[in-house]
Structure 1
Amino acid sequence: MTATAPPPRLLLVSTALLAVAGIVLLGMPQGRQPPAPAASPTAQATADLSSAPSAVAQKPAVATAPSATPTGSAPSVVESALPPHGEGVAGDWAIQRSLEAAWPADLPAADERELLTAGRALLRADATGIGRAQWPAVFPALRQGLAPAFATARFRIQAAIARRDGGPDKAVVHLVWAGTDRGGTFTDGRITDWHFTRSTLKEAAPWTPQPRI
């Protein structure tokens, strides 16, 4: 039995379809992969963190406080606990300790005792008038006749130290004191300095007070 040939129209349609399919295949890029699924928000955040600089590296270093106080620093009067004004005799010892801590001793003990005795006497003479005649170079005749500025009964030396004053033959007596003036006003924490010198021509020369300007 002889096979029947396909109709010419069917051959034409088949040829056209094959031609269109070929054109489509030629237009697609070689090796093109299907698009990957979109990354989830969690995965995107993880990728951003891994590629960003370290947070520790970006954060400035915080300076920490030293663990110990530097050595060699001298104590000061500001750091000491001073008594409040008007506390009376009970607070004088704190002032004395503060002076000694702020200004360490630098004189021989004998010189320091001599200077403190003279400095206290000079301050009392200047404030109350008692003993001015003992120091004619410091209190000339005109000053000896002046009325005392402070009452003897309410005069009190709260603290005193004697230290070198720029050289081995110069010294100063630093005094803190309290008193009531002629107007009846009481004030404590007053400060007075008396300066002394001594001759360098002989040993153990006495300390000589200098007049206050």
Structure 2
Amino acid sequence: MTTSPARSPRLLLTATVVLVVAGVVLLTMPQAPSGPATSVAPRATDSTTVPSATAPSSRPPQTGAPTPATASTATAQSVSASALPPHGEGIAGDAAIQKPLENVWPADLSAADEHGLLAAGRGLLRADATGIGRTKWPALFGDPDQAIAPAFATARFRIQAAIARSDGSPDQAVVHLVWAGTDRGGTYTDRRITDWYFTRTSTKGATTWTPQPRT
């Protein structure tokens, strides 16, 4: 019977140390998840379900009273962008034109000046378009017998909206009018725009707004 040689104590000690180290390494290694991998990144929001905010305008705010060109453009754009009545609506729809004009170009004249300017502006427009009342302003319309024939019939002429505002100076003003009429060819058109400009003069304490010739 053969007897196996005795194992060396050094060999047993070395084997024990190796096993201990291997066990520690296995215990400290991270374990892979057993289930399917899941993403932890946040889900992108559907752009069709969340409306974007409107970017603020980059245009600098305006200060002071608008110039005639700016004001006329602004009023025209405001009226066209507003909920206006359909063309040919008649007198019932005029208020919907007047209100946007007043909102976009706030009053900046005294009530007396505004009232006088509106009356003059309306009269001038009627005289210019239909010929009625031209004798009141001979400096503007000349000799009635040699004046240009009116381009619009009196029957369907109507002023739809009007405002009077200062024009860059306390002594300058403009009357902005929106109107409708039928021309000599029989074509009816509404929402026409005309501006009349005025200069204030004072004589012996009396103030007068003088209309300026149209260029």
Same fold (TM over 0.5): yes
* Residue 182 (str. 1) matches residue 175 (str. 2): no
* 1:194 aligned to which of 193, 196, 208: 196
- Matched residue SS, 2:140: coil
**Structure 1 residues 77, 31: closer, same or farther in 2, change over 3 A?**
same
**Structure 1 residues 178, 64: closer, same or farther in 2, change over 3 A?**
closer
Aligned length: 186
**Structure 1 residue 40 displacement after superposition:** 4.5
For residues 119-158 of structure 1, the aligned pairs below 5 Å read 119-141=121-143, 145-158=147-160
For residues 1-213 of structure 1, the aligned pairs below 5 Å read 10-11=2-3, 14-15=4-5, 18=7, 26=14, 29=18, 31-34=20-23, 35=26, 39-42=32-35, 55=42, 77=79, 80-141=82-143, 145-199=147-201, 203-213=205-215
In structure 1, C-alpha distance between the alignment counterparts of 2:151 and 2:51, rounded to whole Å:
56
Task: Point out the structure with max Rg over C-alpha.
Answer: 1
In structure 2, C-alpha distance between the alignment counterparts of 1:143 and 1:203, rounded to whole Å:
36
**Structure 1 residue 120 displacement after superposition:** 0.6
**Structure 1 residue 175 displacement after superposition:** 0.5
**Structure 1 residues 148, 78: closer, same or farther in 2, change over 3 A?**
closer
Decide whether the 8 Å contact of 1:133 with 1:144 is kept in 2. no
Q: Which amino acid aligns with 1:174?
A: H
Normalization by structure 1: what TM-score?
0.71
Residues 182-212 of structure 1: CA deviation (Å, up to 9, x unaligned):
1110000000000000125653321000000
Q: Which amino acid aligns with 2:155?
A: A
In structure 2, C-alpha distance between the alignment counterparts of 1:133 and 1:203, rounded to whole Å:
26
Unaligned runs of 5+ in 1: 1-6, 67-71
**Structure 1 residue 109 displacement after superposition:** 1.1
Decide whether the 8 Å contact of 1:169 with 1:200 is kept in 2. no
In structure 1, C-alpha distance between the alignment counterparts of 2:162 and 2:118, rounded to whole Å:
7
**Structure 1 residue 138 displacement after superposition:** 1.3
Decide whether the 8 Å contact of 1:198 with 1:206 is kept in 2. yes
**Structure 1 residue 113 displacement after superposition:** 1.2
Decide whether the 8 Å contact of 1:77 with 1:102 is kept in 2. no
**Structure 1 residue 31 displacement after superposition:** 2.7
